Amino acid sequence: MSSDGEASPPPRIALVGIGRNSYTNPSVAEALRRAFPRCEIDWIDLRELVEQRTHRLGKLFTVVHAIRELGPAILLRPMQLGRKGAWTAFLFRLRSRIAREQISRRRYLFSLQIQSTFDASTPGVPHFVYSDNTVLANTHYKNARRSDVPVTREWLALERQLYHNAQVTFVMSRNVGRSLVEDYGCEPDKVVCAYGGPNASIAPVQDKKYDQRNILFVGVVWNRKGGPELLQAFRLVRQQIPDATLTIVGCSPEVDEPGCRVVGRVPPSALGSYYANASVFCMPTRLEPFGIVYVEAMAHKMPIVATNVAAIPDFVTNGENGFLLELDDIEGLADALVKLLRDPELCRRMGERSYAVSRTYTWDNTGEIMRNTIEQVLQAGEKQARAH
């Protein structure tokens, strides 16, 4: 209660991100609402605010600063201009400035930003970060080169400072946590694995069948997610199992292959039926910040065939709930798929283990980990303030 007897306003949390199109952003927002039921959450959308600030000159700003930071040679690679232009230090600073302006307008219990393409830390407000990747984590892939990282040293300096400005950085996986410690010099106790959850609706799985001989791929980017490699392996599979099928959801590659069905983009609410009608989930990704589709597949009791990269070894144990292959091992990929398609009982056992692992990967668990950690940080801050 306030001094005049009126009820005090509820504490407020600033949640900062880029765009409402990401299915993860509303999932995190809902997880925070459940974890902090007495608080009001303000969603600060930097995509909208940056567009308002730059008006029609937004794309021009991107091009000009991409040329300034990356050199005029970028104009000779127009396909890369749009992608790399979004990773300029100019945009990093602009987003950061706008975020701080917004946070400074109200009194917040704490702020939490999703992803690390800006720094929303604001003086006087405890700040936290939740991210599925770091730029330098991409250098740990097989055959990766530092020159492959699409940012400048100026960007990396800003990103490094972002993590050090945060009270805690929450990560989805252990490999990103290691990158923060090894590549960015963060203290281990300031890095907490909070996992992540499915964005597709998960219906209770009762009596799942594994006799369909249908392989499911779900990914919006065909090449980066290992689609071409899967297609090569699928041809080998069909030589041994002629009635095997492959369902491709999320993207629309030009595939004219017997047994393949290309579905394209579907809303998350529609994914459940595709998981239900497949025996094996396979996405042999080449580069993956986290891979929420694997979590969704495991929640649908599916065995997983994937590549041994990034976060995937966190939730897929080779020979337990699926098979992990090295990049470009087409024959190994085909052998794993054949082994599963020929053995529905093996699929069932691995699917049950997948389901058990998936119970860790829920947004409620993420919210609970965040709440416990944030409350400890806030209580420590209050004690320190009283001591002074």
Using CA atoms, how far apart are residues 100 and 233, in angstroms rounded to an integer?
Answer: 49
Q: Which residues contact 367 (CB under 8 A, 6 or more apart)?
A: 31, 32, 34, 35
**pLDDT per position as a tens digit, 284-319:** 999 888 999 999 999 999 999 999 999 999 999 999
**pLDDT per position as a tens digit, 193-210:** 999 999 877 877 778 989
7 burial type by CB count under 10 A (0-12 exposed, 13-18 middle, 19+ buried):
exposed
CB 69 within 8 A of CB 89: yes
CA 136 to chain centre: 15
What's the CATH code of the domain at 135? 3.40.50
Both 45 and 191 in one domain: the answer is: yes
**pLDDT band (50, 70, 90) for residue 60:** low
Q: Within a domain: residue 205?
A: no
The two tokens of residue 76 are 């000779």
Both 172 and 252 in one domain: the answer is: no
Both 221 and 298 in one domain: the answer is: yes
343 burial type by CB count under 10 A (0-12 exposed, 13-18 middle, 19+ buried):
middle
Both 230 and 189 in one domain: the answer is: no
Q: Within a domain: residue 157?
A: yes
Domain ranges, residue 81: 12-197+363-387
Q: Within a domain: residue 203?
A: no
pTM higher than 0.85 for the full model? Answer: yes
**pLDDT per position as a tens digit, 220-269:** 999 999 999 999 999 999 999 999 999 999 999 999 999 999 999 998 88
Both 127 and 184 in one domain: the answer is: yes
Both 166 and 34 in one domain: the answer is: yes
Number of folded domains that form the chain: 2
Both 141 and 258 in one domain: the answer is: no
Using CA atoms, how far apart are residues 177 and 361, in angstroms rounded to an integer?
Answer: 16
Alpha-carbon separation of residue 298 from 118, 131, 140, 157, 177 (angstroms): 32, 22, 26, 37, 23
Both 52 and 177 in one domain: the answer is: yes
Both 274 and 349 in one domain: the answer is: yes
Q: Within a domain: residue 142?
A: yes
